[in-house]
Chain A
Amino acid sequence: MIEWFTWLQIAVATAAGLLCLTLGLAGRAPADLTLGATLLVEVLLIGQLLVSLFAPATGNVPTGSVLEYYVYLVSAIILPPAAAFWALVERNRWSTVVLGVTDLSIAVMLYRMNEIWFVQLA
């Protein structure tokens, strides 16, 4: 993990989540903007996967459980396609809210991943 990249990613996921949540509650069906924001979150997650795979080779190793880290990362990578699939199948305001909830939970998961990689409290 690269710290600034992770924080950037958390910021993007939070912003995308709030955007989708707001537009969804305002009654907007999923559109290019909300689906695009979620796609950006997904692309950054794939980037994070590549970083995580190659960082240990440069001496940047996780301080916590590698297994736990990847459970979070893989779950996070699965979520946006699932939410986007839903948004395309059922186009109404609640699908946009679902996109928002997904993006926000990814932000939380990234925060946890950051803790697993860098900070060990136990």
Chain B
Amino acid sequence: MVQTTSPRSLGIGRVLVVVYGILALAATGRSVLQILTKFDTAPLAYLLSALSAVVYILATAALVARGRRWYVVAWVTIGFELLGVIIVGTLSAVDPMLFPADTVWSGYGFGYLFVPLVLPVLGMLWLHRRRPSRPASVETGAAGART
């Protein structure tokens, strides 16, 4: 049985990256469609869709990339997602007319099985565990796993 020598958190991080990647793909595909085919019906919601798609792409990249700067980008983008899903989720629950069209964050990410609500929390937990103050073991583990 092949067992990885890298820390457990690194492996979970890989899964996190994949889930982020799929969500980024879904959000991008949807927002491109919305903007191309029916932008006029709900410009605000569709611009928000596009913004969230860009943020998901950035977050995915930031989780893969190394270095302090990307670590900060990861925190900012993931924090933005959490705020987004909470604010838009609440607004769409209070006043459905505000976001007549679906965005990733409407209804707290209901249309995406609540993944957008759960994912930022998992992402923050993971970021907290691999903060750069003790990166040595994680970095070498990653390098070892890549070869």
Q: Which residues of A contact B (CB under 8 A)?
A: 27-29, 65, 67-68, 71-72, 75, 79, 83, 86, 90-95, 97-98, 101-102, 105, 108
Cβ B15 vs Cβ A98 within 8 A: yes
A50 to chain B, nearest CB (A): 22
In the assembled complex, the Cα of A101 lies from the Cα of B18 at a distance in Å of: 8
In the assembled complex, the Cα of A68 lies from the Cα of B4 at a distance in Å of: 40
Q: Given that A65-B33, A67-B37 are known contacts, is A92 also in contact with B3, CB under 8 Å in the complex?
A: yes
Report if B97 contacts A (CB, 8 A).
Answer: no
Report if B22 contacts A (CB, 8 A).
Answer: yes
Cβ of A79: which chain B residues have Cβ within 8 Å of it? 22
Cβ A101 vs Cβ B19 within 8 A: yes
A88 to chain B, nearest CB (A): 12
Interface residues of B in 1-52 (CB under 8 A from A): 1-4, 11-12, 14-15, 18-19, 22, 25-26, 29-30, 32-33, 36-37
In the assembled complex, the Cα of A88 lies from the Cα of B32 at a distance in Å of: 32
Q: Given that A94-B15, A98-B15, A101-B19 are known contacts, is A75 also in contact with B2, CB under 8 Å in the complex?
A: no
Q: Which of B1, B11, B22, B33 contacts A68 (CB 8 A)?
A: B33
The total of interchain contacts (Cβ-Cβ below 8 angstroms) comes to 53
Cβ A91 vs Cβ B2 within 8 A: yes
In the assembled complex, the Cα of A86 lies from the Cα of B37 at a distance in Å of: 34
Cβ A72 vs Cβ B15 within 8 A: no
Q: Given that A65-B37, A94-B4, A108-B113 are known contacts, is A71 also in contact with B29, CB under 8 Å in the complex?
A: yes
Cβ B18 vs Cβ A92 within 8 A: no
B44 to chain A, nearest CB (A): 18
B129 to chain A, nearest CB (A): 15
B46 to chain A, nearest CB (A): 14
Cβ A72 vs Cβ B29 within 8 A: yes
